[in-house]
Structure 1
Amino acid sequence: MLRPIRLFASLLLLLSPFFSHAQNLLNQPESVTYHAADNRYLVSNWATGHLVAIDSAGGQSYVLMNQSCFAGLHIIGDVVYVSCRYEGVRGFDLTTGLNVLNVPIPGAANINDITADNVGNLYVSYPSESKIYKINVAAANVSEFMTTGLYAPNGLCFDELYNRILICSYRNNSPIQAINLDDSTLSTVTTTFLDGLDGITMDSDRNVYVSSWETNTVYRFDSTFTNPPLVFSTHPDDPADIFFDTINNILAVPLFFTSQVEFIPATTSIQESTVGITPMNVILYPNYPNPFNPTTRLTFEIPFADHISLVVYNITGQEVTSLANGWFVPGVYQLAFDGTQLPSGLYFARLKAGDFSQVQKILLLK
């Protein structure tokens, strides 16, 4: 059996019990954030309410146990604020472990994501009631902030440049909406065809990422929302409340039902696609360049949503690697293949979409 090669197209750091060689403490991870002071990621767990830390070596440890750390996480300084589903919002000092904030939300059930502005307020989504709450941290009080014009608001992200809260929703054809914090008005930033959106986050270039449970995909919008979204990454499971670590330039993606977190360097494009353009046929185009050394790109297009696999084989029929294996929406996709660790020779790229199959020859010359 061939050793797996390091692929430009799928450079994922998958933190699981197999990576860390230790017990996996994650159980339906919902939200991820990064604590710069300790150089570690914190993960909430829907099934247990425990808060788990993942260090730079992939080691896992409990930060808090049985403290209702079920859903959204947001760090300000050394305090992590948590959406606690039924209890409201709680804050914990990461240096001392002390509970420093308790703000009950009367009647709340399954409150979800949380974010903060830059003047001391937290914002919490309540999808089942289509509301967003505002919490004044200093006063430790809560108010209903937005109760109209929303439907199942889920992920929240503060956009400092425009002083607004960006919102994605767990609904069909979810729009990206925004609340202007200067006047508390709600607007639609862009309409989409995307369904079942969970998380929303922003990188240092102000590109916006959203995760979809419907397609197990993370999409990326440009900073102005001018162009259709790109498929940034696909996953074997439901990507939940994603987080962009701007210090290390990494997108953290919790996979809810497989109890894992994927960390994707943003400089590594998993796949680029144009979503919103519907092709007429399933096509795998010849790679370019061909011959190549050591990298080339494979482009395919699909006119319908389907499970797609794109696998590279050597001349003996052995699988070298899988470039794509998941549910894709209609669009044109381009994936990079790196043959640095492979010998020169003829290889075959095979695309499968439903009953359709197509093979292209690719030639590596060193």
Structure 2
Amino acid sequence: MKFTITYFTLFFTFCFSFSQSYSGAESVEYDPINDRWLVSNGNRIISDDGQGNLSFFGTGTTSYGLEVMGNTAFGIQGSNIIGYDLTSEQQVTIASISGASFLNGMTSDGVDTVYVTDFSQGRIHKIDFSIFASPVITQIVSNTQNTPNGILYDGDNNRLIYTSWGSNAQIKQVDLSNNQVSTIITTSLGNIDGIDDDAAGNYYVSSWTPDRITKYDSNFQNPQIVTTPSLNSPADIGINQTTGIMGIPMGNSVVFVDLGVLSFEEFESNAFNFIIAPNPIDASSEIIFSNLNYKPTAIELLDISGRVIQLISSDVDSGNNISLKTINQASGVYFIRVSNDLSSATKKVIIK
């Protein structure tokens, strides 16, 4: 289903960009006690009232994920999870995770337990903050078999949901009854960063390839593209479920959008129908399109980690085949991604 809502007047009421004030915005969390947004920005936490007024949150430091639980804001600083009182803005607890490499995303059960991903080591840790003086740390997933990024606690289904990096990125879940990992969906998105949900039970993820916010229903079906302003590597998003406002951090800026007045485009997962032949590829190989619904604006070659290593073409006419004779890479497995602002599709290729 496709629907559109006229929203331009309301949109600019709720959309703000602070390109002059942010220098490393990574994670956004709403603080309902003080009606403000907290943003991890480089090595500091910034308080943002959503109206363009920014200030430092005490002396709090964090490098990546933020999580508000009760009257405490938790931030990642290296291998530490540091808790700050939301009223006094002073540090009240710290948990040090031994052997941590790159702690990144964070979520909580809203009561006393925080969960955090280790991007580099493919691990998920549980920290019980029932007693601030002596938090209890448990590694609940030792090998996610991918690079876990954003993470969300889903109490209704007794699970954690987390996003992953790379091409055709997966959204996975951890069953908290036994800590078993399974895949919810394999997307056509690349490098999914953040994840959050709204009051109606819909899920939203931010991706870098393409740069966009994608909405899924409660069963991770019927993906839709959220028509946000122009995005550039959107990171760890946050949603105020009461108002439906989403905060989107993007390094040098943060934008706030009202999901209630934005429009959504149907996600055309099969917009780009093509084959690559011959494959394994050689100088005669081509991308052969069929039923091309939208004109691609980029055809890229990716390595197995999802990193773009070559732009094959940036100008594709409907019905035209694209030669792959310009590819000159070492033997191995690669991916070719065809995309535009609305959709993308990726296929595996082999170079002998």
TM-score when normalising by structure 2 = 0.73
- State the 1:329 CA deviation: 4.3
- State the 1:168 CA deviation: 0.3
The equivalent residue for 1:98 is 90
Mapped to 1, the partners of 2:38 and 2:62 lie a distance apart of 10
Following superposition of structure 1 onto structure 2, how do residues 1-366 of structure 1 map, counting pairs within 5 Å? Answer: 7=8, 11=12, 13-16=15-18, 24-45=20-41, 47=42, 49-65=43-59, 67-84=60-77, 86-118=78-110, 120-138=112-130, 139-233=134-228, 235-256=230-251, 259-278=252-271, 302-306=294-298, 328-330=341-343
Mapped to 2, the partners of 1:172 and 1:8 lie a distance apart of 36
Mapped to 1, the partners of 2:265 and 2:26 lie a distance apart of 26
Distance 1:204 1:237, change over 3 A: same
% identical aligned pairs: 26
- State the 1:250 CA deviation: 0.8
Q: Per the alignment, in what secondary structure is the counterpart of residue 161 of structure 1?
A: helix
- State the 1:275 CA deviation: 2.8
**Kept after mapping to 2: 8 A contact 1:216/1:234:** no
- State the 1:280 CA deviation: 7.0
- State the 1:279 CA deviation: 5.4
**Kept after mapping to 1: 8 A contact 2:79/2:102:** no
**Kept after mapping to 2: 8 A contact 1:9/1:270:** no
> CA offsets, 1:178-214, max 9 Å, x none?
1111221211111211110110000111111111122
Mapped to 2, the partners of 1:189 and 1:146 lie a distance apart of 17
Distance 1:191 1:163, change over 3 A: same
- The one-letter code sitting in structure 1 at the alignment partner of 2:257 is I
Q: Per the alignment, in what secondary structure is the counterpart of residue 209 of structure 2?
A: coil
Mapped to 2, the partners of 1:170 and 1:78 lie a distance apart of 32
Mapped to 1, the partners of 2:246 and 2:35 lie a distance apart of 15
The equivalent residue for 1:21 is none
> CA offsets, 1:249-268, max 9 Å, x none?
11110112xx1111110112
- State the 1:244 CA deviation: 1.1
**Kept after mapping to 2: 8 A contact 1:33/1:42:** yes
**Kept after mapping to 2: 8 A contact 1:110/1:128:** yes
- State the 1:97 CA deviation: 2.0
- State the 1:229 CA deviation: 4.2
Structure 2 unpaired stretches of 5+ = 1-5, 275-291, 299-313, 316-338, 345-352
- State the 1:109 CA deviation: 3.0
- State the 1:303 CA deviation: 4.5
> CA offsets, 1:206-241, max 9 Å, x none?
111111122111111111112244344353311000
The equivalent residue for 1:347 is none
**Kept after mapping to 1: 8 A contact 2:170/2:183:** yes
Higher mean alpha-carbon deviation, 237-246 vs 177-186, is at 177-186
Distance 1:279 1:146, change over 3 A: closer
Distance 1:83 1:124, change over 3 A: same
Q: Per the alignment, in what secondary structure is the counterpart of residue 104 of structure 2?
A: coil
Mapped to 2, the partners of 1:96 and 1:146 lie a distance apart of 34
**Kept after mapping to 2: 8 A contact 1:280/1:303:** no
Q: Per the alignment, in what secondary structure is the counterpart of residue 268 of structure 1?
A: coil
Structure 1 unpaired stretches of 5+ = 18-23, 282-299, 309-325, 332-366
Mapped to 2, the partners of 1:226 and 1:164 lie a distance apart of 18
- The one-letter code sitting in structure 1 at the alignment partner of 2:127 is I
- The one-letter code sitting in structure 1 at the alignment partner of 2:148 is P
The equivalent residue for 2:348 is none
Mapped to 2, the partners of 1:10 and 1:56 lie a distance apart of 13
**Kept after mapping to 2: 8 A contact 1:44/1:50:** yes
- The one-letter code sitting in structure 2 at the alignment partner of 1:7 is F
- State the 1:10 CA deviation: 5.8
